[in-house]
């Protein structure tokens, strides 16, 4: 008899059942990864076998009732789940929950049984009540909706009402594939000589390759060729393609589909339950040959992944803020190891960690140094905003930038304006007493937002909303100063300076719905706007033929943050955003506005000198023993009671100090948080440091960090697993941010 450890969704522990011979013809034992039906607390439940033992436990077990699939979850993925759970201090149940859509545990074949609703006409008169309107509004945005999704926004009575009026129609069956291409496809698919060299270099090594290619050098062409090569060689192979931003998927899907055929599945967190079920089933069955998606797609258990591509690998979105807090890079390495898959990490600005992996020979680097079509790299100029103030121009648009925008408009070209701050302005301060309008839940200033002349204050950390105060709560004066620029203010100023200009704004305020960003990009592609104005969401891999001008409204945002990656981050952002200009025929023009033009990092940006910037950073990090030259863990203690949070963090800090009995110590003026310029701790021992979070209070809780730095991961892993049981804290190994 076999004893099977079975995971049931929503049940905290893994329980054991036994497997008997289930039917006459079958006597094959149950294997790990099988989907089975068991009785749990007198209810039939479906679960997944995660482990098997022959030894009888010392308690009475119940039998497995049915086996639905012998091989539901590939054992490789089951092993990955266990391994990641252990390394990331989270439960294996949580990871399995990410690998398997919920409905697969409720129904035997959920992918072929769904009901779908769509609009049957275009006239929607006599809609009764706001519930019916809500359904119609939703369906105007998407072609159809599954019953389960519709039930989330409408009652059965509402649905029946709409069906009776023939406003809704119903069909049973498969969902329209999520991968519906709606972008133009670039025609040529021959590699340039430079691309061919990079392609050959990537093909000939089994190591992960970093494709380090300047913006506009045609990395996508190489990805397509690699996918084509793998699929031709091995018809059972699958390709996993990961992107940092889901709005980028339609264009890519169109390109892949046009050249490689219709075997594409899509995966991201915005898919509906019905879409997830279908795409998941296609990936599992091997019907889908290419899976394109955001970070979460890496958890979809593919049958036989042979090529994994991580495009824009420098993006922070490849690191999860929530448990398991694993870098996607690390996860795909685990997958590649199990399936002997090839990995390609592509970027114009790879992470320092990736450069270092190449430097020590663990990964291989392939280069693309020129743009395709012999287009020159864009010309980058800096505008000193201090001079604008002297001229009496306090708007976010300098004279020079205004001039370039006029020229661009005359030539009927398009431009991109980038400002990494949404809202209307940065902070709101009382002119009389200097008090800042702050959020009651967070130690962060509230920002002014203006929408159609409606004003409100919003906290960007927790989302708390309140009206603009009439009087200062401290001194009672009614004289506020709004400092700093946000995208809404830039939009307003553009409208005043260039009457009739067509501006599309892309930030968290204008992009809230599932397809909003995609729609903005499509409009811009179609030439329905002169300027695309946005926050960092527009810096990610966008490719527009007609864009000639890029303006960075304020490059200083993010500089000087107490984080050793602050410079790297700003460099990546500026280089990426600059790369959006002049990608086809003409050389682009970039204007970067700043109050600190002398900043050394800007010189590297101006000269497109990624290599020397990296060399500079590498030497700083090495001297300071910072990642990638050490392994870091960030342990965060959060509590609504400041004293508890403080005390717990200090207790853990003392424990870590005692265990490693080394230097470090609390942060102070003399011992600041780790930065790239820090040069202490050259020894190889474990460094222990304590600090309040960058926003000491947020979401109504107080946060304190303890940082551990060790020469290798094992030391930290061991210490944390030994001590993390008693910890009520967030453990982040390889944190992306120290704030």
Binding site for Zn ion (CB under 5 A): 430, 432-433, 435, 439, 441-442, 459, 461-462, 464, 472, 474-475, 477
Contacts of 569 (CB under 8 A, 6+ apart): 316, 558, 563
Which CB, 365 or 444, lies closer to Zn ion? Answer: 444
Tell me the three state secondary structure of residue 372.
helix
Q: Pick the closest to residue 161 from 128, 139, 192 (CA basis).
A: 128
Question: 214 CB contacts (<8 Å, ≥6 apart)?
Answer: 348, 368, 369, 370, 371, 377, 579, 608, 610
Residues in the chain: 739
171 φ, ψ (degrees, to nearest 5): -145, 155
511 touches 246 (CB < 8 A): no
Query: Closest separation between CB of residue 493 and Zn ion, Å?
Result: 27
Shortest CA distance to 46 belongs to which of 28, 24, 65, 59? 65
Instruction: Between 136 and 461, name the residue whose CB sits nearer to Zn ion.
Output: 461
Shortest reach from residue 75's CB to Zn ion, in Å: 45
Report in angstroms how near the CB of residue 430 gets to Zn ion at its nearest.
Answer: 3
SS3 330: helix
Shortest Å, Cβ 469 to Zn ion:
10
Q: 403 or 479: whose CB is closer to Zn ion?
A: 479
Alpha helices per DSSP H over 286-398: 328-339, 352-359, 385-390
Least distance in angstroms from the C-beta of 317 to Zn ion: 22
Beta carbon nearer to Zn ion, 369 or 477: 477
Q: Which of 115/432 has CB closer to Zn ion?
A: 432
Peptide linkage before 628 cis (omega within 30 of 0): yes
What beta strand segments (E) does 178-283 contain?
209-213, 238-242, 264-267
- What is the H or E stretch that residue 128 is in? none
Structure tokens at 718: 């061991």
Q: Is the dihedral of CA 305, 311, 316, 317 positive or negative?
A: negative
| Shortest spacing between CB 323 and Zn ion, in angstroms | 23
| CA nearest neighbour of 315 among 359, 348, 273 | 348
Q: Which is nearer to Zn ion, 436 or 677 (CB)?
A: 436
Q: Which is nearer to Zn ion, 459 or 656 (CB)?
A: 459
Cβ pair 240, 299 in contact under 8 A: no
Nearer to Zn ion, 475 or 640 (CB): 475
Write down the least CB distance from residue 474 to Zn ion, Å. 5
- Closest approach of Zn ion to the CB of residue 436, in Å: 10
Percent of the chain as helix, strand, coil, to the nearest 5: 35, 25, 40
Chain-centroid distance of CA 136 in Å reads 31
| Residue 411 or 431 having the CB closest to Zn ion | 431
Is 406 in contact with 498 (CB distance < 8 Å)? yes
Residue 421 beta carbon to Zn ion: minimum distance, rounded to whole angstroms: 16
Secondary structure of residue 150 in the 3-state scheme: helix
Nearer of residues 400 and 694 to Zn ion, judged by Cβ: 694
- Angstrom distance (rounded) from CA 536 to CA 513: 18
Instruction: Work out how close the CB of 462 gets to Zn ion at its nearest, in angstroms, rounded to a whole number.
Output: 3
């Amino acid at each position: 008899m076999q004893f099977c450890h079975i995971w049931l969704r929503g049940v905290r522990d893994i329980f054991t059942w036994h497997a008997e011979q289930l039917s006459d013809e079958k006597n094959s034992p149950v294997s790990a990864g099988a989907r089975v039906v068991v009785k749990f607390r007198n209810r039939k439940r479906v679960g997944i076998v995660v482990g098997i033992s022959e030894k009888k436990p010392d308690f009475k077990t119940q039998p497995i009732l049915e086996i639905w699939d012998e091989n539901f979850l590939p054992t490789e993925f089951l092993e990955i789940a266990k391994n990641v759970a252990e390394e990331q201090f989270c439960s294996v149940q949580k990871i399995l929950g990410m690998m398997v859509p919920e409905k697969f545990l409720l129904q035997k074949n959920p992918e072929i049984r769904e009901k779908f609703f769509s609009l049957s006409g275009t006239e929607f008169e006599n809609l009764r009540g706001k519930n019916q309107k809500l359904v119609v509004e939703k369906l105007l945005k998407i072609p159809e909706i599954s019953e389960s999704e519709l039930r989330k926004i409408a009652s059965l009575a509402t649905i029946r009402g709409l069906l009776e009026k023939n406003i809704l129609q119903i069909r049973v069956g498969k969902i329209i594939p999520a991968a519906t291409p709606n972008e133009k496809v670039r025609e040529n698919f021959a590699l340039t000589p430079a691309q061919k060299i990079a392609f050959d270099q990537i093909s000939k090594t089994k190591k992960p390759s970093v494709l380090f290619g300047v913006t506009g050098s045609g990395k996508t062409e190489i990805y397509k060729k690699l996918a084509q090569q793998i699929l031709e060689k091995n018809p059972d192979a699958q390709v996993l393609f990961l992107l940092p931003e889901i709005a980028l998927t339609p264009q890519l899907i169109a390109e892949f589909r046009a050249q490689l055929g219709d075997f594409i599945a899509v995966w991201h967190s915005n898919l509906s339950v019905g879409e997830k079920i279908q795409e998941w089933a296609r990936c599992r069955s091997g019907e889908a040959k290419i899976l394109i998606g955001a970070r979460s797609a890496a958890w979809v258990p593919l049958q036989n992944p042979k090529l994994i591509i991580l495009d824009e690998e420098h993006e922070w979105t490849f690191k999860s803020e929530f448990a398991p807090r694993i870098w996607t890079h690390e996860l795909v390495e685990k997958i590649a190891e199990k399936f002997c898959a090839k990995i390609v990490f592509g970027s114009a600005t790879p992470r320092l960690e990736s450069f270092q992996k190449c430097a020590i020979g663990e990964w291989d680097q392939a280069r693309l140094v020129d743009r395709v079509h012999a287009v020159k790299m864009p010309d980058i100029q800096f505008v000193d905003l201090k001079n604008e103030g002297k001229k009496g121009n306090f708007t976010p648009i300098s004279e020079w930038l205004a001039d370039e925008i006029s020229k661009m408009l005359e030539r009927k070209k398009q431009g991109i304006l980038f400002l990494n701050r949404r809202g209307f302005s940065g902070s709101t301060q009382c002119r009389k007493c200097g008090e800042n309008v702050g959020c009651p839940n967070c130690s962060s200033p509230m920002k002014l937002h203006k929408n159609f002349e409606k004003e409100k204050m919003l906290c960007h950390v927790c989302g708390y909303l309140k009206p603009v105060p009439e009087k200062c709560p401290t001194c009672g004066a009614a004289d506020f100063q709004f400092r700093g620029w946000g995208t809404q203010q830039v939009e307003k100023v553009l409208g005043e300076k260039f009457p009739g200009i067509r501006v599309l704004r892309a930030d968290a305020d204008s992009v809230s719905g599932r397809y909003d960003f995609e729609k903005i990009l499509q409009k811009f592609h179609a030439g329905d706007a002169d300027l695309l104005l946005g926050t960092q969401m527009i810096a990610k891999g966008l490719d527009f033929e007609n864009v000639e001008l890029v303006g960075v409204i304020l490059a200083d945002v993010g500089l000087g943050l107490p984080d050793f990656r602050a410079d790297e981050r700003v460099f990546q952002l500026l280089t990426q955003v600059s790369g959006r200009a002049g990608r086809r025929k003409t050389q682009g023009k970039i204007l970067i506005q700043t109050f600190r033009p002398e900043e050394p990092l800007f010189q590297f940006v101006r000269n497109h000198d990624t290599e020397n910037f990296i060399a500079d950073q590498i030497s700083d990090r090495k001297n300071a023993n910072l990642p990638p030259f050490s392994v870091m863990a960030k342990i965060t203690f959060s509590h609504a009671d400041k004293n508890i949070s403080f005390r717990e963090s200090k207790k853990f800090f003392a424990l870590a100090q005692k265990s490693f009995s080394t230097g470090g110590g609390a942060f102070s003026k003399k011992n600041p948080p780790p930065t790239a310029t820090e040069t202490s701790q050259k020894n190889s021992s474990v460094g222990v440091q304590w600090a309040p979070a960058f926003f000491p209070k947020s979401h109504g809780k107080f946060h304190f960090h303890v940082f551990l730095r060790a020469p290798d991961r094992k030391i930290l892993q061991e210490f944390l697993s030994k001590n993390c049981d008693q910890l009520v804290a967030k453990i982040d190994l390889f944190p992306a941010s120290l704030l």
